Amino acid sequence: MKPTLAIILCLWLFGNLNGQSIHGRVVDFNTGEALEYVSIGVLNTRYGTITDERGEFSLVVTDLSPDSTLRISMIGYHSQTFSLRELKNESRVIQLVVKPVQIGEVTVKPFGEARKIGTTGFNRIGNWCGWGGSRFGKGHELGTEVDLGDSPVFIQSLHVHVHRQAYDTSWYRLHIRTLENGLPKEELLTDNVIVSISKESGWVELDLREYNIVQVGQVALTLEWLKVSGINEDRTMRINKKVTSEYVLFNQKKRSGCIFSRWGVEAHWTRADNSSPSIYLTVLNPAS
């Protein structure tokens, strides 16, 4: 064996031997039913995934301390944390407990005029954001900041302009969060809002009326990548004669708003100003 190849092989073996394999299944504490789309992530790192339809997950991490913290969380449930040492090479069933929703006194008023909030335009050439290549992964998020105003509004629909996607269907979880120091912070939604996109390109309208979402003020609006089905070969991006890349790309608007992103369910948020993904909400204002 050539020396260089031997060194590469040793390094590869060393990295894998030092990797930590984490497996498990997440269920509802009361019903025992499997929970799909539960977030599994090591705090402040890119390592993360989500559970499948059987509630199962598998995650391999490297170069982390056994004392690093892994959080298991889902909207509507109390989260749980473990050290990597506790879960290393051991498959276990993790039970999440439903989080009671504290609802304050609300004065119900009729809603009237509809309006659009967010980025309703886009640049047609060379300005996209999305998921693809080395940045593809469950739990990755993209979004922007929107100002809903000083009075509560009813969120009727979400609109996204798809530049192009290489799948028959892609699924996302909607998040609406508070802002702290210009970055997303606390989740405001109390239910999982799962939406899907099957259109290859163009504006997509996603009806949110069934979720009865009423919000107010400046918030972070993001979409979290969950899963895809059906690679459409006619839509893939060809890198060379033998290699193609699958992706989902949203259009952007230059000199408008900002882009929030994080590449892991517990990773740090980043913010880029002066460009926004083409995402907006149709909301109903309170009737006067």
- Note down pLDDT in tens along the chain; length 288 residues: 444 444 333 333 333 335 678 899 999 999 999 999 999 999 999 999 999 999 999 998 888 998 999 999 999 999 999 999 888 767 789 999 999 876 555 454 667 789 999 999 998 777 888 887 544 678 899 999 999 999 999 999 999 999 988 888 999 999 999 999 999 999 999 999 999 999 999 999 999 999 999 999 999 999 999 988 887 666 666 554 554 466 888 999 998 899 999 999 999 999 999 999 999 999 998 766
- DSSP code at position 99: P
Same domain as 152, residue 249: yes
Query: Which two three-digit tokens encode residue 39?
Result: 């977030």
Q: How many CA atoms lie within 13 A of 81 on its CB side?
A: 7
| Percent of the chain with pLDDT strictly greater than 70 | 83
Q: Is residue 11 part of a domain?
A: no
CA distances from 33 to 10, 98, 173, 188 (A): 43, 12, 20, 25
Same domain as 250, residue 161: yes
Q: Given 62, 96, 130, which residue is the final one in a domain?
A: 96
Q: List pLDDT tens digits, range 37-65.
A: 999 999 999 999 999 999 999 998 888 99
Same domain as 177, residue 128: yes
Q: Is residue 10 part of a domain?
A: no
Q: What is the distance of C-alpha 136 from the center of its chain?
A: 11
Q: In which domain, by residue range, is 172 found?
A: 111-286
Q: How far apart are CA 212 and CA 162, in angstroms?
A: 25
- The total domain count for the chain is 2
Q: Is residue 5 part of a domain?
A: no
In this predicted structure, what is the pLDDT of residue 5?
40
Q: Is residue 178 part of a domain?
A: yes
Query: Which two three-digit tokens encode residue 230?
Result: 């059906």
Q: Given 33, 61, 96, which residue is the final one in a domain?
A: 96
Q: Within 10 Å of residue 146's Cβ, how many Cβ atoms?
A: 22
Nearest to 169 by CA among 147, 213, 200: 200
Same domain as 170, residue 201: yes
Same domain as 278, residue 140: yes
Same domain as 273, residue 133: yes
| Angle CA 71–72–75, to nearest 5 | 120
Same domain as 159, residue 91: no
